[in-house]
A and B are shown apart, each in its own frame.
Chain A
Amino acid sequence: MNALTDAQALRPAGRPETPRAAEPAEAAAVPRGAAPGPVPATATAAAPLATPAVRLRGLDKRYGDRPVLRQLSLDIEPGSFVAIVGRSGCGKSTLLRIIAGLESADAGEVHVATPAGSDARGGAGQPGVRLMFQDPRLLPWKSVIDNVRLGLPRDCLARARAALADVGLLDRAGDWPAVLSGGQRQRVALARALVHRPQLLLLDEPLGALDALTRIEMHGLIERLWREHGFTAVLVTHDVQEAVALADRVLVIDAGVVDLDRRVPLPRPRGRGTAPFAQLESEVLGRVLARPS
């Protein structure tokens, strides 16, 4: 099983001699080239030579007659933090759910690298991949620590406690989720995702329901954990400031294609008030709002 996914992951690595993978990528370039504005040629050109953590080629997805993703291709470098922004209904959450394996694309290829060393069991999703949802989705009948241990072998209590300590909630281990605040619940959900030591952490607007102060706290926490653990992070959000504050690379998705692929060269930790930050934020925001939906 593991060997199979490894092989799958390795196949696109030998890039020059895989014409099958290259062909749909070229096909994808046609509609994107037609899009107005300075779109980077292809994501592939920008990616370094290392095996991408996620490699998408020519993804198509439609719900009924409505296309959600159109010939979308994308490479995500391992260890990077990528933010995907866009209006609601632009297909960004669908893209994340396809990467997570919770939904399947109608056409195209999805490769998620799963190097050895990750012990996150494959769920309906991919092995080595954990998804954090918009709502915490904690089991109300399990204590905080038992929620974190969900899906772990029995003897992993110490690991679960360490993960809980990582998000600063070890003293609430025995509480029911019902008595926690919204921000604390999302921190427990974060600990539950990280306890599996994922290679790839997908964040589906996990801070959307939190108040502004709690969000800023959570940004610091997510950034610290990302730096300490070294996983690849893909964050879907509608908050451009959040995207610019956290990500190495911001993607704007519009009408099912990548409309903007912008690197964020700002040093960390990033001050929100600085001029380059504000300039980048307004550039991305302008792009998101550019076209009427």
Chain B
Amino acid sequence: MNAAAARAGATRQRLVRVVLPWLVPALILAAWELASRAGWLSARILPEPWAVLQATGRLVASGELARDTLVSAGRALAGLAVGGGLGLLLGLLTGLYKPAETALDSSLQMVRNIPPLAMIPLVILWFGIDEGAKLFLVALGVFFPIYLNTFHGIRSVDPGLIEMARSYGLRGWELYRHVILPGALPSILVGLRFSLGLMWVLLIVAETISASSGIGYMTMNAREFLQTDVVVVGILLYALLGKLADLVARALEKACLPWHPAHQGIR
């Protein structure tokens, strides 16, 4: 009797946990739809959810949505690969090799304080409005979180562990592979997560300045024709992609850091 009651209580709790987070968005959506239908919200300001859904259907059917999403995702990933890769390499170099830190770190810290978006006028002068400009902006933005966290991760590996490993005869590459790199990995992954967030922000700005394809182009084009429903589809798409990137980063952390106390809650 008691056990059954407890089980029922547990089920109810789980239900609450699953349903509650969606309650607020659902209410907002309902209010939005209602406001549009009642005529309080002009379609020019914000189209009703139903219209957004229809626009999504149209864009999917015509293949525009898939094409533009692919183009944007390709740009984002290319920028991440270039900027993140460089950040990782330089972070490893300055973290492991003291002269490299002395030579590079203070310059990099100076450049870090320039907001990447402040570079837009220069970037347009250098690259025009080509793919190069977008790639550069994204790469510049994602470089620093990964660089800083890699450097910091390597420097904050417990010196006691390094001393222990040295006294057990580990040298050079073995020491990096067994001790320093695994010790720095949690910090590197935090950097990656920051970078993934920045990556979309920079891409959105780069694509709205000038582009002939991609989600940013789609929304800017729609704005010219007052298709607010398409603009909203683009915004929602960015939100979805951002969430997806975060999920990937989290899955990566779980896969790479099975030993971490944060992932040992349920055993």
**A residues whose Cβ falls under 8 Å from a Cβ of B:** 100-102, 120-125, 130-131, 133, 135, 137, 139-142, 150-151, 176-179, 192, 196
Instruction: List the B residue with the shortest CB-CB distance to A129.
Output: B167
A146 smallest CB distance to B (angstroms): 9
Q: Are B264 and A176 in touch, CB under 8 angstroms?
A: yes
Closest 4 CB pairs of A and B: A121-B169, A151-B168, A123-B167, A137-B164
Query: Is chain B's binding surface mostly helix, strand, loop or mixed?
Result: helix
A-B contact count (CB 8 A): 64
Bound-state Cα–Cα, A124 to B267, Å: 38
Q: Are A139 and B168 in touch, CB under 8 angstroms?
A: no
Q: Are B167 and A176 in touch, CB under 8 angstroms?
A: no
B254 smallest CB distance to A (angstroms): 14
Q: Are A123 and B170 in touch, CB under 8 angstroms?
A: yes
Q: Are B264 and A151 in touch, CB under 8 angstroms?
A: no
Bound-state Cα–Cα, A164 to B260, Å: 23
Some 5 contacts from A to B, beta carbons below 8 A apart, are: A123-B168, A124-B167, A139-B182, A141-B259, A177-B259
Q: Are B179 and A102 in touch, CB under 8 angstroms?
A: no
The residue from A102, A122, A133, A139 contacting B169, defined by CB atoms under 8 A apart: A122
B185 smallest CB distance to A (angstroms): 8
Instruction: List the B residue with the shortest CB-CB distance to A196.
Output: B168
The residue from B161, B166, B167, B257 contacting A139, defined by CB atoms under 8 A apart: B161
Q: Are B160 and A139 in touch, CB under 8 angstroms?
A: no
Q: Which of B172-222 contact A (CB under 8 A)?
A: 178-179, 182-183, 185
Excluding A123-B168, A178-B259, 18 further A-B contacts by CB distance (< 8 Å) are A121-B168, A121-B169, A123-B166, A124-B163, A130-B167, A130-B168, A135-B160, A137-B160, A137-B163, A139-B178, A139-B182, A140-B260, A141-B185, A142-B259, A150-B165, A150-B168, A176-B258, A179-B267
Bound-state Cα–Cα, A178 to B261, Å: 7
Say whether, besides A137-B164, A139-B182, A151 and B259 are in contact (CB < 8 Å).
no
B235 smallest CB distance to A (angstroms): 40
Q: Are A141 and B261 in touch, CB under 8 angstroms?
A: no
Q: Which residues of B contact A192 (CB under 8 A)?
A: 168
Q: Which residues of A contact B258 (CB under 8 A)?
A: 176
A200 smallest CB distance to B (angstroms): 13
Q: Which residues of A contact B170 (CB under 8 A)?
A: 123, 150-151
Q: Which residues of B contact A135 (CB under 8 A)?
A: 160
Q: Are A100 and B167 in touch, CB under 8 angstroms?
A: yes
